[in-house]
Amino acid sequence: MLKIGVLASGRGSNFQAVLDAIKAGKIKSEIKVLISDKANAFALERAKQNGIEALHISAKAFPSMDEYFVAVAEELKKRDIGLVLLAGFMRIVRRPLLDAFPWKVMNIHPALLPSFPGLHGQQQAVDYGARISGCTVHFVDAGMDTGPVIIQAAVACNADDTEDTLSERILKYEHIIYPEAVRLFAEGRLDVKGRKVFIKDSRPYPTDAIINPPVE
């Protein structure tokens, strides 16, 4: 069975959404470890509450970020991890981790990439006056939020939205599409070719789909 490792810096609601989908039997896999770069991340508490190993690995303890990610990759390898999830992990992942897990690192981003990459994707959409934003699950490459897209969901943006109101609307869809992307991975249905992700046995999607492609 697929073993998952999660990296998180904050409250960990996406981690919780994936965990809930596993507990509900929707995804055949197990979260073995949660690693945080922040000692006070609520995600660490969530892990402990759910009997999942919780590790705090501070980047400050390492002379370089490359060395930090060597150490993180070693901890994940020790536990035979087959999929790494970035769930509100606020650092750019470096080569040592990506090379150890080729196309096995996923991220959730709170905007429709390639729009509004980096920090505060929701605030960027508000400031830009975008009418539609959303969220993206993608495989991670060495760039910032540039890897192949797996699933996206769109939400409306209103002129009076604030970062908070838009974030709340987007987050609901994050909690839907992240578990779905993990399920597709766990079922061996994701194929990366060039910068495109092909989903085996997926239905063709209607042009008015909110979640794109639709999930079964």
Residues in 97-126 that interact with ligand GAR by CB under 6 A: 108-110, 121
Residue nearest ligand GAR, Cβ-based: 88
Could you tell me which of 134, 136, 137 has the C-alpha nearest to residue 182?
Answer: 137
Number of residues that bind ligand GAR (CB under 6 A): 14
CB nearer to ligand GAR: pick between 88 and 96: 88
Rounded Cα distance between 178 and 151, Å, is 8
CB nearer to ligand GAR: pick between 110 and 213: 110
Tokens 């060039």 -> residue: 194
Residues in 33-72 that interact with ligand GAR by CB under 6 A: none
Contact 25, 60 (CB under 8 A): no
Near ligand GAR by CB under 6 A: residue from 4, 5, 7, 12: 12
| Marked catalytic residue, from 56, 109, 120, 138 | 109
Near ligand GAR by CB under 6 A: residue from 10, 82, 148, 214: 10
Rounded Cα distance between 196 and 38, Å, is 33
- Rounded to the nearest 10 degrees, what angle do helices 13-23 and 163-186 cross at? 40
Residues in 158-197 that interact with ligand GAR by CB under 6 A: 171, 174
Other Cβ atoms within 10 Å of 124 Cβ, number: 18
Q: Name residue 206's amino acid.
A: P
31-to-26, 42, 194 alpha-carbon distances in Å:
14, 17, 29
Contact 33, 52 (CB under 8 A): yes
Rounded Cα distance between 163 and 61, Å, is 33
The least distance separating ligand GAR from the CB of residue 171, rounded to whole angstroms, comes to: 6
Active site residue 109: yes
Question: Is 147 one of the binding residues for ligand GAR (CB under 6 A)?
Answer: no
* Per-residue contact string for residues 72-101; x = within reach of ligand GAR by CB under 6 A: ---------------xx-------------
Residues taking part in catalysis: 109
The residue ranges that bind ligand GAR (CB under 6 A) are 8, 10-14, 87-88, 108-110, 121, 171, 174
